[in-house]
Structure 1
Amino acid sequence: MKNFLSVIILAFLSATTVFSQNKKEVLMTIDGKPVYANEFKRVYLKNLDLVQDESQKDIDGYLQLFIDYKLKIAEAETQGLDKESTYKSEYSKYRDQLSRNYLFEDKVTEELAKEAYERGKEDINASHILIRVDYESVPQDTLAAYNKIKSIRDRAVKGEDFAQLAKTYSEEPGAKETGGNLGYFTVFNMVYPFENAAYNTKVGEISKIVRTTFGYHILKVNDRRSKMPKIAVSHIMISDKKGARTFNPEERINELYTMLKQGESFESLAKQFSDDKNSAVKGGKLNAFTKGDLRAPEFENAAYELKNIGDISKPVKTDFGWHIIRLDEKLPEESFEQQKESLEKRVTEGDRSKIVTNAINNKIKEKYGFKKGESFLPYFDTYVTDDVLKRKWIMNPIPNDMEKTLFTIGDKKLGYTDFAKFIAGRQKTTRPYKQKEALLVDLYDEFETENLKDYFKEHLEDENEDYAAILTEYRDGLLIFDVMNKNIWQKAKNDSIGLQEYYNKTKQDYQWKQRVEAIIYSATSEMLAQQIQKMLAEGKTAEEIKTALNTDDKVNVLITPGLFEVDQRELPEGLEIKEGVSKVYPNNDSFEVVNIKAILAPGEKSLDEVKGKVLSNYQNDIEAKWMQELHSKYKVEVDKKALKHLKKELK
């Protein structure tokens, strides 16, 4: 959609910087609000290659694009879209995500990523026994659970059958059936303490006792295997979801498979018949993948069963349709540097993040200065009632004489009242707790971490120009999307009467080219194509020709009936448009004969046939009128002197 692409481009066009703006040259004002030359220069240099219209690539042309963008931002703010809860939520999420790139620039993240990379080279098959106990359990329950798992471990170490012990004692659901076997797993599949135990235990040995949020575990490692390498394959796909097909998809894929066995070119058949248009133009070639990357396990399994380069699978059924797969390449293992970015992202988002968080908290404390104040627990254990466990605690004001400072970060103090407000708001979304003290301890850790990070983020915008610019890009991009969605896209989508009227005024722009109702016969040889010509001249039907020329073991002809525009890719290039049986045309590695039943003259397409295109054009029409209104609504004044300076600098 043209409008959406414009938003994506323009989302990169804001890059507003907030540093020392009073010292910058004002390029223009919108209703008196300044827009600085430095901002325009930044986005012009950064995004010039994204602008497709040549007339907008010079300074004056680009300035008009930039002004339109700024007017949309102004209108979004006028309509209060920056106050909407959905906008605030999205912006906050992105701010948190972006700041992580600066918060987690610490070697502890890289070390954990390197550990994950090394572990990721192996899959582990393990069994485990679980005795449930959570972190809130009373000490006697925790001790009882520990003693129980210790007793089981002692028996396992002495040689008792691990699977039988799991069936008898493990409190994991399904353990009686599985004997505790977890199958193969790899890095990031399990909680981090469990993963540590698995990777630090040798094959055949019993792990030490490990504590997780689920309880106490012991593991027995059954096997280790090297992780599957990435592979590259090509495929031919026949969709079974393409509406009313004029042929049977399963029958078609089997015909193509037979033709491949006969020696027909995989690339040629993919280009000519595959329904995966993106790969068809490349002869069926797909991007490299490993197991788990695709949303089609049947496809992955069939691909990995191919042993030698060039091997071809039998037809495989997936949720997308029917496939024939050819193994093209087995790729070497990726280096740590190649995977570093994605590994570090997973480290900072998973349960390893606790390790990173502690390290980062210490880093922030050292950077800005941190001073611990009064302990929270003695006061809050009495002040907060047990209603908090039901998420119904109501905060009462803390008396002035009882107010204490919990900690100070930089020039910011956080006290009892701040923590009380945090508890009141956070209680509704906590996990269930049994013990109030455990809840208060966890909430305090969250409270301290949140305020440390907030302090860091607040000062990061002042300290880091790139961060501030990227953050503003995203903010403006969200507002542009929202204002366009409200005023253009949804308006056009919901205005069926207006859409019909627009189509009536512009239907001359939506025309069918000349079309033919035809049956295309694709033969494996020129001689067979000539035989098809002869059979058609004798009045044979498509089914009779198919029966005569194809056998169970050999497919010599594929038949595709339909209604085709004269330049459609299914028709052979240079086809002479006249009723009757055509001459033989070579097409890739096949030979085609077309039996044209009827020729349809060019004509108008109905609204239903071109609704998507008409809707897009209608949106463009609404947007053009809307932009005229914005230019009238807001006063834009360009400083000619500043513009002249800018042109000179950019040249």
Structure 2
Amino acid sequence: MKNFLSLCLLAFLSATTVFAQNKKEVLMTIDGKPVYANEFERVYSKNLDLVQDESQKDIDGYLQLFIDYKLKIAEAKEQGLDKTADYTKEFSKYRDQLSRNYLFEDKVAEELAKEAYERGKEDIDASHILIRADYEALPQDTLAAYNKIKGIRERALKGEDFSKLAKLYSEEPGAKERGGDLGYFSVFSMVYPFESAAYKTKVGEISPIVRTSFGYHIIKVNDKRARQPKVEVSHIMISDKKGARDFNPEERINEIAAMLKQGENFESLAKQFSDDKNSAVLGGKLKPFTKGDLRAPEFEDAAYNLKNIGDISKPVKTDFGWHIIRLDEKLPMESFDQQREELEKKVNEGERSKIVTSATNKKIKEKYGFKKEASYLPFFDTYLGDDILKRKWEMTPISSNDDKVLFTIGDKKATYSDFAKYITERQKSTRPYKLKESLLVDFYDEFETNELKDYFKERLEFENEDYAAILNEYRDGLLIFDVMDKNIWQKGKNDSIGIQEYYNKSKQDYQWKQRVDADIYAATSEALAQQVLKMLGEGKTSEEIKTTLNSDAKVNVIITPGVFEIDQRELPENFEIKKGVSKIYPSHDSFVVVNVNEIIAPGPKSLEDVKGKVLSNYQNDLEKSWMESLHKKYDVEVNKKTLKHVKKQLK
């Protein structure tokens, strides 16, 4: 998704609306097209605190930035970027998100989120029996499935072993091996009707028959337990994805584990050796999480297996590398307000969304008036060929005599032709259907919902000034992104010759500091560091030193070879740059000796070393030239009388 929100801070979000035009004070024109004073007043007041350059905080300075912004919008429209499919799709997506704040569905979503929060306090251990019957099954097959599950439930209620019944009759894959056992699950883990039945059934009891998209179920609840709250941990990570390393990651993590057992400080080791740089500077501390939050189940399991505050895990392997984890805190359960945003997102993305949609549609119909006209099934059952089931149906024009009105919402009529166009597009992304009638029912429900919401959003832009202003901010923000992407970012990124020429002209701006090719020895005590000094003086290799001073039971020294800039964190503070073996430096509860093999003088970095920074600077130059061309291309005239009035108003 385009991250245009940060862009908008730079682009000075516009707020042009139908309401802004009521106040006919024209601040300026761009090729004769008016820009109104209250648009400028709005963005100036809104964004003034975001402007970092003090010279641009006065109205005249800010006006120049505003003109640049409006020129970019004008150029985006000149290039037709407001008509592209990507732009239309992105804008529609943002409009949907924004309108949720005004639609009635938020209230319903909030109630379902509260229900989910309460359910989420428990995990449920349950078993189930499934008799398959999807929503497209023939009536006689549906009835047969229902009668079958009904008979099984009666036998279970009389005391027959539930697991044996599941092995005999359940049509769930793997039922014969597991006996219907699902283990522990919590809210959002199962389809909503199944989840609801499980939470409403007491421990030891069997649920009523439940219908889902899979078929008919009965559920036996074996246990309910309180869900685990979040934990806070610190970790030390050694990545095994960091290219060709000069040491073995597994060996390094085992060395660190041994040092921790010897009583070395966890935070100091994390700062010195952890490859997770974001947490390393904090002594390895991570944000609180619960199971399922991270993309590393092995890490989560290891963290939750730690019982007491301060307990430290054995080395744990994940997709990110090797970790040692320390339990820092077990947190209380979060409040509803703390979880609200995440819960409402899940409500609106899952099966619960159908409940939200139904309630929202009802409210819109009541607000604007809704009337159903002609039935769609008799006509469309004949009009649609069977190739719709293969997603290859092609629409043929509907005559004016046949093109009836399906329904009316407010002053808008939805016709057979409108529905047919919807079917044409919708079939491309539909799931396979067996029956044309089932497809039509689902497509009509979707079509009606879309028409109702679109009408609501259209009216909202006329009825609500704040909504209209914010919506236009999204509209223009997306245009700014697209015009910059096309004319600056992609152009710069793909111009390898231009980047090389820019680098050649400015390579003096990209310089290495003084560097050393060195081996860094971190010892656990000053006495051991003295031994390192002695052995280096005797000409011992780093491998010989490690073998002598470390053992399987105890790690006394860790060696890090590499090339380091003089202020790099691996080197001790106030390190004296000279070739050969250094003195002993205290550093992060260790004692460090550095054997400098070579001193590398400051010099230019290669283009490959600084390509990202060079590209950014090159694009800035492109933008500067581009803006100069826009000022020449468009005729901008500022109304000095209106500007004077604006200054008076804002002061």
Q: Is the 8 A contact 2:238 2:274 kept in 1?
A: yes
**Alignment pair present for 1:519 and 2:519:** yes
Give the Å deviation of 1:307. 0.8
Q: Would the alpha carbon gap of residues 245 and 379 (structure 1) be closer, same or farther in structure 2, given more than 3 Å must change?
A: closer
Deviations 1:619-647 (A, max 9, x none): 11212111111111112222223333333
Deviations 1:587-643 (A, max 9, x none): 121121212222121111111222222122111121211111111111222222333
Q: Would the alpha carbon gap of residues 4 and 555 (structure 1) be closer, same or farther in structure 2, given more than 3 Å must change?
A: farther
1:438 alignment partner in structure 2: 438
Give the Å deviation of 1:11. 5.4
- Identity of matched residues, %: 80
Q: Is the 8 A contact 1:314 1:324 kept in 2?
A: yes
Give the Å deviation of 1:530. 2.4
Between 3-12 and 581-590, report the one with greater CA deviation: 3-12
After superposition, residues 316-355 of structure 1 pair within 5 angstroms as 316-355=316-355
Give the Å deviation of 1:8. 4.7
**Cα separation, 1, equivalents of 2:293 and 2:576:** 46
2:410 alignment partner in structure 1: 410
2:61 alignment partner in structure 1: 61
Give the Å deviation of 1:172. 1.7
2:607 alignment partner in structure 1: 607
Between 395-404 and 562-571, report the one with greater CA deviation: 395-404
Between 398-407 and 24-33, report the one with greater CA deviation: 398-407
SS at match of 1:97: helix
1:419 alignment partner in structure 2: 419
**Cα separation, 2, equivalents of 1:641 and 1:482:** 34
Deviations 1:429-461 (A, max 9, x none): 433333333333333222222211111010111
2:27 alignment partner in structure 1: 27
TM-score, normalized by length of structure 2? 0.95
Q: Is the 8 A contact 1:104 1:348 kept in 2?
A: no
1:312 alignment partner in structure 2: 312
1:261 alignment partner in structure 2: 261
**Cα separation, 1, equivalents of 2:143 and 2:402:** 38
2:583 alignment partner in structure 1: 583
Matched letter for residue 541 of structure 2: T
Q: Would the alpha carbon gap of residues 139 and 591 (structure 1) be closer, same or farther in structure 2, given more than 3 Å must change?
A: same
1:274 alignment partner in structure 2: 274
**Alignment pair present for 1:369 and 2:369:** yes
Give the Å deviation of 1:419. 3.1
Deviations 1:332-353 (A, max 9, x none): 1111122222222222222111
1:203 alignment partner in structure 2: 203
Deviations 1:376-435 (A, max 9, x none): 334444444544444444545545445543322111222334334434443444333333
Between 455-464 and 402-411, report the one with greater CA deviation: 402-411
**Cα separation, 1, equivalents of 2:227 and 2:141:** 40
Give the Å deviation of 1:88. 1.2
**Cα separation, 2, equivalents of 1:397 and 1:599:** 79
Report the number of matched residues. Answer: 649
Deviations 1:205-263 (A, max 9, x none): 21111111111111111222211100111111111111222222112111111221222
RMSD, aligned α-carbons: 2.2
Q: Is the 8 A contact 2:12 2:66 kept in 1?
A: no
Between 590-599 and 296-305, report the one with greater CA deviation: 590-599
After superposition, residues 538-549 of structure 1 pair within 5 angstroms as 538-549=538-549
**Cα separation, 2, equivalents of 1:298 and 1:381:** 53
Give the Å deviation of 1:4. 8.4
**Cα separation, 2, equivalents of 1:430 and 1:250:** 48
Matched letter for residue 223 of structure 2: D
After superposition, residues 21-420 of structure 1 pair within 5 angstroms as 21-420=21-420
Q: Structure 2: give runs of 5+ residues left out of the alignment.
A: none
Give the Å deviation of 1:365. 1.2
Deviations 1:495-539 (A, max 9, x none): 211111111111111111111122211122222222322222222
Q: Would the alpha carbon gap of residues 642 and 164 (structure 1) be closer, same or farther in structure 2, given more than 3 Å must change?
A: same
Q: Would the alpha carbon gap of residues 518 and 19 (structure 1) be closer, same or farther in structure 2, given more than 3 Å must change?
A: same
SS at match of 1:124: strand
**Cα separation, 1, equivalents of 2:234 and 2:313:** 11
Between 27-36 and 602-611, report the one with greater CA deviation: 27-36
Q: Would the alpha carbon gap of residues 548 and 385 (structure 1) be closer, same or farther in structure 2, given more than 3 Å must change?
A: closer
Q: Is the 8 A contact 1:24 1:38 kept in 2?
A: no
**Cα separation, 1, equivalents of 2:349 and 2:88:** 22
Deviations 1:175-215 (A, max 9, x none): 22222222222111211111111111122221111111111
1:618 alignment partner in structure 2: 618
Between 43-52 and 285-294, report the one with greater CA deviation: 43-52
Between 393-402 and 579-588, report the one with greater CA deviation: 393-402
Matched letter for residue 175 of structure 1: A
**Cα separation, 2, equivalents of 1:396 and 1:248:** 67
Give the Å deviation of 1:367. 1.0
Deviations 1:263-311 (A, max 9, x none): 2211111112111111111111110000000001111111111111111
Q: Is the 8 A contact 1:10 1:69 kept in 2?
A: no
Q: Would the alpha carbon gap of residues 405 and 557 (structure 1) be closer, same or farther in structure 2, given more than 3 Å must change?
A: same
